[in-house]
Amino acid sequence: MKIVDATVVLTSPGRNFVTLKVETDEGVTGLGDATLNGRELAAAAYLRDHIVPLLLGTDPHRIEDTWQSLYRGAYWRRGPVTMAAIAAVDTALWDIKAKVAGLPLYQLLGGASRERVGTYGHAGGRDIPELLDSVRARLADGYPAIRVQAGVPGLKRVYGVTSATGRRPVVEDWDTAAYLRTIPKVFDAVRQEFGPDLPLLHDAHHRLTPNQAARLGKDLEPYDLFWLEDCTPAENQEGLRLVRRHTTTPLAIGEVFNTVFDYQTLVTEQLIDYVRSAVTHFGGVSPLKKLFDFAAQYQIKSAVHGPEDISPVGMAAAIHLGLAIHNFGIQEYAGHTDLTHSVFPHAYTFTDGHLHPGQAPGLGVDLDEELAAAHPYEPSYLPVNRLQDGTVHDW
Ligand code: CS2
Ligand code: MG
């Protein structure tokens, strides 16, 4: 079997997605997701200009060898653009292999370890009453666990929830002290309204120092969070030692990480409880499976990043992994617009707050290329965040 063509499809059915379609001489095709929110054209060009020419004529069954040759062969390693591009290839090759086998991908990853994949959804509001309504809406959607994000008095926007839009980044504002005072009150209100049983999560979106994160984790202990996410930027992995020493609030990190090296200290010193990387940004199904197996040795679980900017192709890959691995924790599922579901018809289902990949061979996702072409790429940026004196801060 040989790869005879590979094309990159950019489409924006509400937001941008980058999809790689790999075609073989036997007519079997595979899809991979390389969407990099706000930097889509860079991932598309890396694929189109530097990877596709190398794929033509190669054997699609040699997934590990292809991955290693793209990773090591480029000499320049790691980074989100490189790893999103490699992820799309790896995922498309797994899709092809599973289609040839006539099996849903999870069967090739060891088969099902559970009946279905549990999720969490997003609730947010500018103030507490609006937030409580949003939690109610997510519960009505069936979500068994909920991420809670709330407005901070004095700040213009609810952080971390803005879609990427426009030809220039939107500028948001930030005040850490006000945030640290607000969030425990928010969780107090949510627990009072919904009781002790509902699993609640919170995303600090890389905005705190280790010391501030330690304080927040401690202040949130009475509210029994499922996790506190991205409490620091965590490039400084050792910084998490300080956080861990001061709080038992579970910690989840990693949506911006793209290799296992970013996790080395975090995992071996058990400084976190959940690894958050996505198939789409971590080099594909192959390395993410290895990360989960590594994390399992330290009782750390999976929690694959699943915002709207992971396409249904990347989401399907996550669901297959989530069904198969033993140390599954939870799957983020922000869902997609109806138009996105139509551009990427898929076998996976979301029922009663749980996902299942379905039984279609491969990933179980198709691409309606005509519909995709009718919704072309639109330039967009994630927001930039500034402190009130104008200093740029982590977003
Ligand atoms: C967020 C993301 O899902 C999450 O936890 O942190 O929405 C993130 O902001 C976006 O994926 C950025 O593209
Ligand atoms: Mg996050």
Q: Which pLDDT tens digits describe the chain residue by residue (395 residues)?
A: 999 999 999 999 999 999 999 999 999 999 999 999 999 999 999 999 999 999 999 999 999 999 999 999 999 999 999 999 999 999 999 999 999 999 999 999 999 999 999 999 999 999 999 999 999 999 999 999 999 999 998 888 777 665 667 788 888 899 999 999 999 999 999 999 999 999 999 999 999 999 999 999 999 999 999 999 999 999 999 999 999 999 999 999 999 999 999 999 999 999 999 999 999 999 999 999 999 999 999 999 999 999 999 999 999 999 999 999 999 999 999 999 999 999 999 999 999 999 999 999 999 999 999 999 999 999 999 999 999 999 999 98
pLDDT for residue 166:
76
- One-character DSSP codes across 249-281: S-EEE-TT--SGGGGHHHHHTT--SEE---GGG
State the catalytic residues. 159, 205
Whole-number Å distance, alpha carbon 360 to ligand 1 midpoint, is 29
Ligand 1 atom with the smallest distance to the CA of 307 is 3
Of the listed ligands, the closest to the CA of 229 is: 2
Here the tokens at position 267 are 């995992």
**Ligand 1, CB cutoff 6 Å, lining residues:** 37, 160, 203, 205, 255, 305, 307, 309, 332, 382
255 CA → ligand 1 middle, Å? 8
Q: Could you tell me which CATH number the domain at 3-104 has?
A: 3.30.390.10
pLDDT on residue 120: 98
Domain residue limits, the chain: 3-104, 108-359
- How high is the pLDDT of residue 157? 77
Can you say whether the dihedral through the CA atoms of 292, 275, 313, 352 is positive or negative? positive
Instruction: Give the model's pLDDT for residue 154.
Output: 87
Please report, for residues 9, 41, 172, 174, 191, the alpha-carbon distance to residue 157 in angstroms, rounded to integers and kept in the order given.
Answer: 33, 28, 7, 9, 23
Q: Which CATH number fits domain 108-359: 1.10.10.10, 3.40.50.300, 3.40.50.11540, 3.20.20.120?
A: 3.20.20.120
Nearest of 64, 138, 125, 29 to residue 361 by alpha carbon: 29
User: Atom 10 of ligand 1 has which residue's CA nearest to it?
Assistant: 307
Cα 120 to middle of ligand 2, angstroms: 12
Which ligand 1 atom lies nearest to the CA of residue 203? Answer: 5
pLDDT at residue 162, as a whole number = 58
User: What's the CA-to-centroid distance between 146 and ligand 2, angstroms?
Assistant: 13
The atom of ligand 1 lying closest to the CA of 161 is 7
CA 239 to ligand 1 center in whole angstroms: 22
* Separation of alpha carbons 128 and 189, rounded Å: 7
Q: Which of 309, 331, 381 to mutate to test the pocket of ligand 1 (most atoms within 8 A of CB)?
A: 309
| CA–CA dist 276, 262 (Å, integer) | 12
Give the ligand at the shortest distance from the Cα of 160. Answer: 1
CB-hemisphere CA count at 13 Å for 30?
33
The number of beta carbons lying within 10 Å of the beta carbon of residue 240 is 23
In the prediction, which pLDDT does 156 show? 82
Burial class (CB in 10 A: 0-12, 13-18, 19+), 232: buried
Return the ligand 1 atom nearest residue 147 CA: 5
Show the tokens assigned to 347.
């076998």
